[in-house]
Amino acid sequence: MKVLVIGSGGREHAMAWKLAQSKKAERVYIAPGNGGTAGEKNCENVDLLGHDPAEEEVQEALIRYVIKEGIDLTVVGPEAPLAAGIADRFREAGQPIVGPGAAAARLEASKAYAKSFMEKYRVRAARSLVFTDISEALRAVKAHFSNAEKDLPPLVIKANGLAAGKGVIIAEELEAAETAVNAFMKEGVLDGAGKTLVLEEFLRGPEVSVLAAVSVSGGGKGVILPFVSARDHKRRFDNDGGPNTGGMGAIAPVPDFNAALQKDFEEAILAPTLRGLEAEGFDYRGFIFFGLLIQDGKCYLLEYNIRLGDPETQAVLPMMNSDFAELCAAIENKTLMDFRLSWKPGAVCAPVAVAAGYPGDYRKGDPIAFNEASFAKTGAVLFAAGAQCGTGGAAGSGLRSAGGRVLAVSAYGANGEDAREKAYRALKAVHFEGMDYRRDIGGYPAP
């Protein structure tokens, strides 16, 4: 079959790489892809001429493209095209697609909606209140911090809409909380995203990401198949210091996510979510991401994403034994119930290399050099993110940095330590001006 992947990041490179390994995948197309997918075996980028797949006209053009090219299945990477209804449009046009419709995509696109869903179906989550009126939100913030208790927990303030990771503030004191409420609701720093606000109880503990395949399409035969657990490292610097980023690296599986926690997650979060997706009558054939926090031996759901995680996917897909193209087909053609997922033993470590300045303004356009022989010895794979093909000259086929998170290397090992050792050795074989990375992905100081 011919498969089209929508997106341009490291996650999409990992998806295309895994799809291309399938005996069932005759060819993999990526719209628009990046410099890494352009060079991937059996893969080919589809030029969107700088247009965004979240735009309606681009989605219509993609439908015309899949019909013309005879694409058998489209798999969507990022949330924005899904929230904008790409899956509904494809299905109306009779084109098979992996991704939820816009109604279910509100589980990520609207935190207020996600919270109401969690409450309605009793999915275990932090306690929260939703506000649309700024004076009521400010009153609630004051009430929280005027509580007579000492050592008050911080307050978590979340903007409602898609905010590219900038919509969550953890306020330690009243002033910071008021500033955040005003910035979101009055000054509109996130455009429309902050008009509705969620105030949430602060939870303390390690975070775990569980990605899963979902096939719910009415008839009560829905299924959610969870993948091996993963952990993103969101802060910019070692030991979880510095600002939040899009993710500085991931590991899979998570050693502290043991069988008891897995069972707790399945009972308190996964099962009620599945009941909810069915009861709402969604057509949800795609992926879901559970952002968990573990406190006192229990899993709490912090967020749903309606897609695979980035950079978790770069760590999780190399752990998968199953054929990813077959899995995507089973999601779409409603046979996921009979699909048996299988995983490798061992572990994957996938640190991300970023450009100087990231997550602020960063350098771009630097050539990326490799020592191919030393890289190959580690068995690692490279997933490009903010990297494009260079143009001109002898270096014409090479990559150049073009984004903040430039690439991830993903190394498989017999265990976490082995994977980390290989990943950091692979990173040493990559160089671009100003390149930096965290040395502690997976909690191991890099050699």
Where does this chain bind ligand GLY (CB under 6 A)? 232, 247, 305, 309-310, 312
- Using CB distances below 5 to 8 A depending on partner kind, what does residue 378 bind out of ligand GLY, ligand AMP, none? none
Nearest to ligand AMP of 33, 78 (CB atom): 78
Min separation Cβ 126 and ligand AMP, Å: 4
What distance in Å separates the CA atoms of residue 69 and residue 162, rounded to the nearest whole number? 32
Q: What Cα–Cα distance (Å) separates residue 350 from each residue in 123, 162, 300, 311, 409? A: 30, 26, 25, 8, 5
Contact 63, 76 (CB under 8 A): no
Name the CA dihedral angle for 158, 161, 165, 167, rounded to a multiple of 10 degrees.
-30
Nearest to ligand GLY of 12, 232 (CB atom): 232
Contact 234, 245 (CB under 8 A): yes
What distance in Å separates the CA atoms of residue 4 and residue 71, rounded to the nearest whole number? 7
Q: What is the DSSP letter of 101?
A: -
Nearest to ligand GLY of 198, 329 (CB atom): 198
Min separation Cβ 305 and ligand GLY, Å: 5
Residue from 199, 212, 223, 302 touching ligand AMP (CB under 6 A): that is 302
Nearest to ligand AMP of 56, 191 (CB atom): 191
Min separation Cβ 338 and ligand GLY, Å: 29
| The residue type at 227 | F
- Using CB distances below 5 to 8 A depending on partner kind, what does residue 118 bind out of ligand AMP, ligand GLY, none? none
Residues shown for the chain: 447
Nearest to ligand AMP of 121, 202 (CB atom): 202
Contact 437, 354 (CB under 8 A): yes
176 is a site residue for ligand AMP (CB under 6 A): no
Query: Within positions 370 to 389, which residues make up the interface with ligand AMP, using CB under 6 A?
Result: none
291 is a site residue for ligand AMP (CB under 6 A): yes
| Residue-wise DSSP of 155-213 | EEEEESS--TT-SEEEESSHHHHHHHHHHHHTS-TTGGGGSSEEEEE---S-EEEEEEE
Map tokens 């559970």 to a residue.
290
207 is a site residue for ligand AMP (CB under 6 A): yes
Residue from 62, 98, 156, 185 touching ligand AMP (CB under 6 A): that is 156
Nearest to ligand AMP of 137, 328 (CB atom): 137
> Helical H runs in 202-344?
259-265, 271-279, 312-316, 324-332
Min separation Cβ 246 and ligand GLY, Å: 7
- Using CB distances below 5 to 8 A depending on partner kind, what does residue 366 bind out of ligand AMP, ligand GLY, none? none
Map tokens 């990326």 to a residue.
368
434 is a site residue for ligand AMP (CB under 6 A): no
Nearest to ligand GLY of 273, 305 (CB atom): 305
What distance in Å separates the CA atoms of residue 168 and residue 156, rounded to the nearest whole number? 7
Query: Within positions 184 to 203, which residues make up the interface with ligand AMP, using CB under 6 A?
Result: 200-203
- Using CB distances below 5 to 8 A depending on partner kind, what does residue 247 bind out of ligand GLY, ligand AMP, none? ligand GLY
Which tokens go with 57?
């006209």
Nearest to ligand AMP of 190, 203 (CB atom): 203
The footprint of ligand AMP (CB under 6 A) covers: 126, 156, 158, 168, 170, 200-203, 207, 291, 302-303
